[in-house]
């Protein structure tokens, strides 16, 4: 059901694991790159090792709990994180860089104790170009960080694909944040 918003998958990939198809696609595009793929659900057991081996993390999951877990681990392991989400006509993006003392984390923006309805994307639908727009912005911020260029930390970027509007909200590091309030490095 999500093929229209996935540019590296097509009808011939139906029934195959996305992570394996994606790896093969990327290897065909750039045979010399190293692509690590693991066809298992990300969780508190496997994420620490994956995140510690990464230079940067791009969070693209569908669940609030996974986003919060990835944020927590990135803060603990001092890994830059670019979080993206999309639903219906709306997209959002936040850059978290725990290496910067004043950088707000995802939990500063969205309280991890908040009850959130993690309904599947299919329950609400997603306008495919919103995913593409947010994905391009996520890649842009990640590449800037990797190149040593200042990224847009401590902002929540909101995209409205129906009205073609961008808004941003400045996010301050919360003194009572349960994730990053002790992150002084």
Angstrom distance (rounded) from CA 39 to CA 16:
11
Residue 180 catalytic? no
User: Cα angle vertex 77, ends 42, 54, to 5°?
Assistant: 60
Angstrom distance (rounded) from CA 173 to CA 102:
6
Using only C-alpha atoms, what is the Rg of the chain?
A: 17
Q: Which of 74, 105, 108, 121 is labelled catalytic? A: 121
Query: So which residues are the catalytic ones?
Result: 121
């Amino acid at each position: 059901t999500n093929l229209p918003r996935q540019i590296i998958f097509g009808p011939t990939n139906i029934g195959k694991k996305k992570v394996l198809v994606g790896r093969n696609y990327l290897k065909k595009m750039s045979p010399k790159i190293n692509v690590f793929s693991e066809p298992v659900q990300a969780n508190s057991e496997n994420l620490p090792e994956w995140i510690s081996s990464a230079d940067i993390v791009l969070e693209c999951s569908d669940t609030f709990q996974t986003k919060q877990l990835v944020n927590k681990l990135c803060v603990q392991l001092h890994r830059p994180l670019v979080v993206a989400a999309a639903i219906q006509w709306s997209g959002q993006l936040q850059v978290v860089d725990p290496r910067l003392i004043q950088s707000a984390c995802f939990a500063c923006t969205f309280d991890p104790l908040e009850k959130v309805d993690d309904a599947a994307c299919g329950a609400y639908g997603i306008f495919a170009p919103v995913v593409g727009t947010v994905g391009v912005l996520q890649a842009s911020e990640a590449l800037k960080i990797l190149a040593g260029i200042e990224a847009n930390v401590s902002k929540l970027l909101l995209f409205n694909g129906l009205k073609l509007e961008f808004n941003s909200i400045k996010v301050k590091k919360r003194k009572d944040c349960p994730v990053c309030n002790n992150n002084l490095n």
